[in-house]
Amino acid sequence: RGLLGHVADALANLQVVVATVEPDLGHRGQASFVVTKDNPGLRLGKKESKIGIRASQTAEIVLEDCRVPGDQLLGGEEKLQKKIERGRSGKSSGSSGALATFEITRPTVGASALGIAQAAYEWTLEHLAGRSENGKPLLQEQRIQQVLADVATEIEAARLLVWRAAWMGRNGVPMTGGQGSMSKLKGGDVAMWATTALMDLVGPEAQSMDCPLEKWFRDAKIYQIFEGTAEIQRLVVARLQATEYAERLQYAQQVAQDNSSATPAAEKKPAKESAPAAA
Ligand SMILES: Cc1cc2nc3c(=O)[nH]c(=O)nc-3n(C[C@H](O)[C@H](O)[C@H](O)COP(=O)(O)OP(=O)(O)OC[C@H]3O[C@@H](n4cnc5c(N)ncnc54)[C@H](O)[C@@H]3O)c2cc1C
Protein backbone atom coordinates (compact mmCIF):
# COMPACT_ATOMS: atom_id res chain seq x y z
CA ARG A 1 0.00 0.00 0.00
CA GLY A 2 1.15 3.52 -0.57
CA LEU A 3 0.97 6.70 -2.55
CA LEU A 4 3.86 7.52 -4.87
CA GLY A 5 3.75 11.21 -5.68
CA HIS A 6 5.26 12.71 -8.83
CA VAL A 7 6.05 9.60 -10.84
CA ALA A 8 7.54 10.51 -14.22
CA ASP A 9 6.10 8.43 -17.05
CA ALA A 10 3.42 7.08 -14.75
CA LEU A 11 1.72 5.48 -17.76
CA ALA A 12 4.67 3.14 -18.36
CA ASN A 13 3.93 -0.57 -18.69
CA LEU A 14 5.86 -1.32 -15.55
CA GLN A 15 7.18 0.52 -12.52
CA VAL A 16 9.98 -0.41 -10.15
CA VAL A 17 8.67 0.20 -6.64
CA VAL A 18 11.07 0.35 -3.70
CA ALA A 19 8.94 -0.76 -0.75
CA THR A 20 9.56 -1.28 2.93
CA VAL A 21 9.19 -4.91 3.98
CA GLU A 22 10.88 -4.67 7.40
CA PRO A 23 10.15 -1.19 8.79
CA ASP A 24 12.53 -1.40 11.76
CA LEU A 25 15.57 -2.00 9.50
CA GLY A 26 15.55 1.30 7.62
CA HIS A 27 16.97 1.02 4.10
CA ARG A 28 18.12 -2.53 4.86
CA GLY A 29 14.47 -3.48 5.18
CA GLN A 30 13.58 -2.30 1.69
CA ALA A 31 13.05 -4.38 -1.43
CA SER A 32 12.45 -3.50 -5.08
CA PHE A 33 9.47 -4.90 -6.93
CA VAL A 34 8.46 -4.78 -10.58
CA VAL A 35 4.80 -3.78 -10.69
CA THR A 36 3.03 -4.00 -14.03
CA LYS A 37 0.44 -1.54 -15.25
CA ASP A 38 -2.29 -4.22 -15.34
CA ASN A 39 -1.93 -5.02 -11.62
CA PRO A 40 -5.42 -4.47 -10.11
CA GLY A 41 -3.81 -2.94 -7.01
CA LEU A 42 -2.19 -0.13 -9.01
CA ARG A 43 -4.01 2.94 -10.26
CA LEU A 44 -3.10 6.42 -11.42
CA GLY A 45 -3.84 9.32 -9.10
CA LYS A 46 -3.67 13.04 -9.78
CA LYS A 47 -1.93 14.09 -12.99
CA GLU A 48 0.51 16.94 -12.40
CA SER A 49 0.58 20.09 -14.51
CA LYS A 50 4.27 21.00 -14.65
CA ILE A 51 6.26 24.02 -15.82
CA GLY A 52 8.82 21.86 -17.65
CA ILE A 53 9.31 18.46 -19.32
CA ARG A 54 5.65 18.68 -20.26
CA ALA A 55 5.94 15.90 -22.85
CA SER A 56 6.55 13.47 -19.99
CA GLN A 57 3.41 12.64 -18.09
CA THR A 58 3.89 12.86 -14.34
CA ALA A 59 1.23 11.57 -11.98
CA GLU A 60 0.62 9.96 -8.62
CA ILE A 61 0.58 6.18 -8.46
CA VAL A 62 -1.70 4.70 -5.85
CA LEU A 63 -1.02 1.20 -4.54
CA GLU A 64 -3.95 -0.41 -2.71
CA ASP A 65 -3.70 -4.05 -1.65
CA CYS A 66 -1.25 -4.38 -4.49
CA ARG A 67 -0.14 -8.00 -4.53
CA VAL A 68 3.01 -8.80 -6.48
CA PRO A 69 4.09 -12.32 -7.54
CA GLY A 70 7.33 -13.54 -5.95
CA ASP A 71 9.15 -13.64 -9.28
CA GLN A 72 8.70 -9.86 -9.54
CA LEU A 73 10.90 -9.28 -6.51
CA LEU A 74 14.14 -7.89 -7.95
CA GLY A 75 17.15 -9.96 -6.92
CA GLY A 76 14.93 -12.79 -5.62
CA GLU A 77 13.77 -14.00 -2.22
CA GLU A 78 17.07 -15.58 -1.13
CA LYS A 79 19.05 -12.38 -1.61
CA LEU A 80 16.43 -10.37 0.26
CA GLN A 81 16.44 -12.80 3.20
CA LYS A 82 20.23 -12.57 3.43
CA LYS A 83 20.05 -8.78 3.40
CA ILE A 84 17.45 -8.81 6.18
CA GLU A 85 19.54 -11.25 8.23
CA ARG A 86 22.58 -9.01 7.83
CA GLY A 87 20.45 -6.05 8.87
CA ARG A 88 19.21 -7.89 11.98
CA SER A 89 22.73 -8.99 12.94
CA GLY A 90 23.89 -5.36 12.72
CA LYS A 91 26.48 -6.22 10.04
CA SER A 92 26.85 -3.66 7.29
CA SER A 93 25.39 -4.74 3.97
CA GLY A 94 27.19 -1.93 2.15
CA SER A 95 25.13 0.77 0.50
CA SER A 96 21.42 0.34 -0.14
CA GLY A 97 20.52 -1.35 -3.43
CA ALA A 98 18.34 1.61 -4.38
CA LEU A 99 21.15 4.10 -3.72
CA ALA A 100 23.64 2.01 -5.70
CA THR A 101 21.14 1.84 -8.58
CA PHE A 102 20.70 5.61 -8.50
CA GLU A 103 24.46 6.03 -8.76
CA ILE A 104 24.30 4.17 -12.09
CA THR A 105 21.14 5.82 -13.45
CA ARG A 106 22.16 9.38 -12.57
CA PRO A 107 24.67 9.80 -15.44
CA THR A 108 21.80 9.39 -17.93
CA VAL A 109 19.89 12.13 -16.10
CA GLY A 110 23.03 14.28 -16.19
CA ALA A 111 23.33 13.60 -19.93
CA SER A 112 19.74 14.69 -20.47
CA ALA A 113 20.35 17.94 -18.56
CA LEU A 114 23.49 18.47 -20.60
CA GLY A 115 21.43 18.20 -23.80
CA ILE A 116 19.28 21.11 -22.63
CA ALA A 117 22.32 23.27 -21.86
CA GLN A 118 23.94 22.37 -25.19
CA ALA A 119 20.77 23.15 -27.15
CA ALA A 120 20.38 26.51 -25.40
CA TYR A 121 24.05 27.34 -26.06
CA GLU A 122 23.93 26.45 -29.76
CA TRP A 123 20.65 28.29 -30.31
CA THR A 124 22.11 31.42 -28.66
CA LEU A 125 25.27 31.24 -30.79
CA GLU A 126 23.19 31.12 -33.97
CA HIS A 127 20.84 33.82 -32.71
CA LEU A 128 23.68 36.22 -31.89
CA ALA A 129 25.69 35.43 -35.02
CA GLY A 130 23.64 37.67 -37.29
CA ARG A 131 23.26 40.56 -34.84
CA SER A 132 25.29 43.65 -34.13
CA GLU A 133 25.32 46.58 -31.72
CA ASN A 134 26.47 50.02 -32.89
CA GLY A 135 27.83 48.39 -36.01
CA LYS A 136 29.88 45.80 -34.08
CA PRO A 137 28.91 42.10 -34.37
CA LEU A 138 27.62 40.89 -30.99
CA LEU A 139 29.87 37.83 -31.08
CA GLN A 140 32.86 40.20 -31.05
CA GLU A 141 31.65 42.02 -27.92
CA GLN A 142 33.85 41.05 -24.98
CA ARG A 143 30.95 41.01 -22.50
CA ILE A 144 29.19 38.48 -24.76
CA GLN A 145 32.33 36.42 -25.39
CA GLN A 146 33.01 36.12 -21.66
CA VAL A 147 29.57 34.68 -20.91
CA LEU A 148 29.71 32.32 -23.89
CA ALA A 149 33.15 31.11 -22.81
CA ASP A 150 31.87 30.38 -19.30
CA VAL A 151 28.83 28.54 -20.64
CA ALA A 152 30.96 26.45 -23.03
CA THR A 153 33.45 25.64 -20.25
CA GLU A 154 30.76 24.59 -17.78
CA ILE A 155 29.08 22.42 -20.41
CA GLU A 156 32.38 20.68 -21.19
CA ALA A 157 33.06 20.11 -17.48
CA ALA A 158 29.61 18.56 -17.06
CA ARG A 159 30.08 16.46 -20.20
CA LEU A 160 33.35 14.99 -18.94
CA LEU A 161 31.77 14.07 -15.60
CA VAL A 162 28.86 12.41 -17.43
CA TRP A 163 31.18 10.50 -19.76
CA ARG A 164 33.35 9.31 -16.88
CA ALA A 165 30.38 8.11 -14.83
CA ALA A 166 28.74 6.49 -17.85
CA TRP A 167 31.99 4.68 -18.64
CA MET A 168 32.28 3.47 -15.04
CA GLY A 169 28.68 2.27 -15.02
CA ARG A 170 29.03 0.46 -18.35
CA ASN A 171 32.28 -1.21 -17.28
CA GLY A 172 31.11 -2.24 -13.82
CA VAL A 173 33.52 0.07 -11.99
CA PRO A 174 31.92 0.89 -8.60
CA MET A 175 31.21 4.61 -8.21
CA THR A 176 32.53 4.68 -4.69
CA GLY A 177 33.34 8.39 -4.89
CA GLY A 178 29.80 9.36 -5.94
CA GLN A 179 30.82 9.87 -9.57
CA GLY A 180 27.26 9.16 -10.78
CA SER A 181 25.79 11.73 -8.40
CA MET A 182 28.49 14.25 -9.33
CA SER A 183 27.59 13.97 -13.00
CA LYS A 184 23.89 14.53 -12.35
CA LEU A 185 24.54 17.35 -9.89
CA LYS A 186 26.81 19.17 -12.32
CA GLY A 187 24.55 18.51 -15.32
CA GLY A 188 21.47 19.86 -13.52
CA ASP A 189 23.20 22.91 -12.10
CA VAL A 190 24.84 23.74 -15.44
CA ALA A 191 21.54 23.39 -17.33
CA MET A 192 19.77 25.75 -14.90
CA TRP A 193 22.62 28.25 -14.72
CA ALA A 194 23.39 28.21 -18.47
CA THR A 195 19.78 28.71 -19.59
CA THR A 196 19.48 31.64 -17.16
CA ALA A 197 22.79 33.20 -18.28
CA LEU A 198 21.90 32.78 -21.96
CA MET A 199 18.47 34.35 -21.46
CA ASP A 200 20.18 37.32 -19.81
CA LEU A 201 22.47 37.58 -22.83
CA VAL A 202 19.65 37.51 -25.36
CA GLY A 203 17.63 40.05 -23.38
CA PRO A 204 13.89 40.78 -23.40
CA GLU A 205 13.30 38.62 -26.47
CA ALA A 206 14.18 35.58 -24.36
CA GLN A 207 11.12 36.20 -22.17
CA SER A 208 8.84 35.57 -25.12
CA MET A 209 7.14 32.20 -25.52
CA ASP A 210 8.33 32.32 -29.15
CA CYS A 211 11.92 32.02 -27.98
CA PRO A 212 13.01 28.41 -27.34
CA LEU A 213 15.23 29.53 -24.47
CA GLU A 214 12.21 29.94 -22.21
CA LYS A 215 11.28 26.28 -22.76
CA TRP A 216 14.79 25.03 -22.03
CA PHE A 217 14.85 27.28 -18.95
CA ARG A 218 11.61 25.66 -17.70
CA ASP A 219 12.82 22.16 -18.61
CA ALA A 220 16.13 22.65 -16.76
CA LYS A 221 14.66 23.11 -13.28
CA ILE A 222 13.51 19.53 -12.75
CA TYR A 223 17.11 18.29 -13.13
CA GLN A 224 17.86 19.91 -9.76
CA ILE A 225 14.90 18.08 -8.24
CA PHE A 226 14.19 14.56 -9.47
CA GLU A 227 16.38 11.47 -9.13
CA GLY A 228 17.59 13.09 -5.89
CA THR A 229 17.65 16.87 -5.43
CA ALA A 230 20.86 18.87 -5.91
CA GLU A 231 21.10 19.29 -2.12
CA ILE A 232 20.84 15.55 -1.57
CA GLN A 233 23.39 14.86 -4.35
CA ARG A 234 25.83 17.03 -2.43
CA LEU A 235 25.24 14.99 0.73
CA VAL A 236 25.72 11.72 -1.18
CA VAL A 237 28.95 12.96 -2.79
CA ALA A 238 30.31 14.34 0.50
CA ARG A 239 29.63 11.08 2.38
CA LEU A 240 31.02 8.81 -0.33
CA GLN A 241 34.09 11.02 -0.74
CA ALA A 242 34.80 10.95 3.01
CA THR A 243 34.47 7.15 3.12
CA GLU A 244 36.60 6.68 0.02
CA TYR A 245 39.32 9.00 1.36
CA ALA A 246 39.43 7.15 4.69
CA GLU A 247 39.81 3.85 2.81
CA ARG A 248 42.58 5.26 0.59
CA LEU A 249 44.42 6.55 3.64
CA GLN A 250 44.12 3.20 5.39
CA TYR A 251 45.40 1.44 2.26
CA ALA A 252 48.37 3.83 1.98
CA GLN A 253 49.25 3.27 5.65
CA GLN A 254 49.07 -0.49 5.13
CA VAL A 255 51.37 -0.31 2.07
CA ALA A 256 53.86 1.87 3.98
CA GLN A 257 53.81 -0.57 6.90
CA ASP A 258 54.28 -3.60 4.61
CA ASN A 259 57.19 -1.92 2.79
CA SER A 260 58.81 -0.97 6.05
CA SER A 261 58.66 -4.52 7.45
CA ALA A 262 59.91 -5.98 4.11
CA THR A 263 63.06 -3.76 4.07
CA PRO A 264 66.14 -5.39 5.74
CA ALA A 265 67.16 -3.53 8.91
CA ALA A 266 70.65 -2.65 7.50
CA GLU A 267 69.07 -0.82 4.55
CA LYS A 268 66.77 1.20 6.72
CA LYS A 269 67.69 4.85 6.88
CA PRO A 270 67.60 6.46 10.28
CA ALA A 271 64.66 8.77 10.70
CA LYS A 272 67.07 11.67 11.40
CA GLU A 273 70.77 12.08 10.67
CA SER A 274 72.60 11.26 13.90
CA ALA A 275 74.73 14.04 15.38
CA PRO A 276 78.47 13.78 14.52
CA ALA A 277 80.53 12.22 17.28
CA ALA A 278 82.41 14.71 19.44
CA ALA A 279 86.09 15.05 18.45
C1 LIG B 1 8.33 16.16 -12.21
C2 LIG B 1 8.78 15.17 -11.20
C3 LIG B 1 8.98 13.85 -11.57
C4 LIG B 1 9.38 12.91 -10.63
N5 LIG B 1 9.53 11.61 -11.00
C6 LIG B 1 9.80 10.67 -10.08
C7 LIG B 1 9.85 9.28 -10.44
O8 LIG B 1 9.65 8.91 -11.59
N9 LIG B 1 10.11 8.38 -9.47
C10 LIG B 1 10.33 8.76 -8.17
O11 LIG B 1 10.55 7.90 -7.33
N12 LIG B 1 10.28 10.05 -7.82
C13 LIG B 1 10.02 11.01 -8.73
N14 LIG B 1 9.94 12.33 -8.36
C15 LIG B 1 10.14 12.67 -6.95
C16 LIG B 1 11.47 13.36 -6.72
O17 LIG B 1 12.55 12.49 -6.95
C18 LIG B 1 11.46 13.91 -5.30
O19 LIG B 1 10.43 14.86 -5.20
C20 LIG B 1 12.78 14.56 -4.96
O21 LIG B 1 13.81 13.62 -4.91
C22 LIG B 1 12.70 15.27 -3.61
O23 LIG B 1 12.33 14.40 -2.62
P24 LIG B 1 11.16 14.82 -1.63
O25 LIG B 1 9.98 15.21 -2.44
O26 LIG B 1 11.01 13.73 -0.63
O27 LIG B 1 11.72 16.17 -0.98
P28 LIG B 1 11.88 16.52 0.53
O29 LIG B 1 12.72 15.48 1.21
O30 LIG B 1 10.54 16.83 1.09
O31 LIG B 1 12.76 17.83 0.42
C32 LIG B 1 12.23 19.12 0.17
C33 LIG B 1 13.39 20.07 -0.11
O34 LIG B 1 14.26 20.10 1.03
C35 LIG B 1 15.58 19.83 0.62
N36 LIG B 1 16.29 19.08 1.65
C37 LIG B 1 15.90 17.94 2.27
N38 LIG B 1 16.84 17.53 3.14
C39 LIG B 1 17.85 18.42 3.06
C40 LIG B 1 19.12 18.56 3.71
N41 LIG B 1 19.53 17.69 4.62
N42 LIG B 1 19.91 19.59 3.36
C43 LIG B 1 19.50 20.51 2.45
N44 LIG B 1 18.31 20.45 1.82
C45 LIG B 1 17.50 19.42 2.11
C46 LIG B 1 15.45 19.00 -0.64
O47 LIG B 1 16.62 19.10 -1.43
C48 LIG B 1 14.25 19.64 -1.29
O49 LIG B 1 14.65 20.76 -2.03
C50 LIG B 1 9.58 13.30 -9.28
C51 LIG B 1 9.40 14.65 -8.92
C52 LIG B 1 9.01 15.57 -9.85
C53 LIG B 1 8.82 17.02 -9.41
Asked about 227 being catalytic, the answer comes back as yes
ipTM score: 0.97
> Residue 278 pLDDT more than 80?
no
The β-bridge relationship of strands 14-20 and 2-8 is unpaired
Residues across the chain: 279
Domain locations in the chain? Answer: 2-74, 99-243
The residue-averaged pLDDT of 212-220 equals: 98
H/E segment holding residue 86: helix 77-89
Distances (CA, A) of 142 to 138, 139, 156, 194, 238: 9, 8, 21, 18, 37
Residue 271 has pLDDT above 80, yes or no: no
Predicted local distance difference test score (pLDDT) of residue 100: 78
Tell me which of 133, 227, 231, 267 is the catalytic residue.
227
Which CATH fold would you assign to the domain 99-243?
A: Butyryl-CoA Dehydrogenase, subunit A; domain 3 (1.20.140)
Q: What is the pLDDT of residues 8-62, one digit of tens each?
A: 988 899 999 999 999 999 888 999 999 999 999 999 999 999 999 999 999 999 9
Lowest mean pLDDT among 68-77, 90-99, 222-231: 90-99
Q: How far is the CA of 226 from the centre of ligand 1 (A)?
A: 6
- For residue range 184-210, what is the model confidence (pLDDT) as tens digits? 999 999 999 999 999 999 999 999 999
Q: What is the CATH number of domain 2-74?
A: 2.40.110.10
Report the percent of the chain where pLDDT is more than 90.
Answer: 82
Q: Measured from the CB, is residue 233 less than 6 Å from ligand 1?
A: no
pLDDT by residue (tens digit) across 113-146? 999 999 999 999 999 998 999 999 999 999 999 9
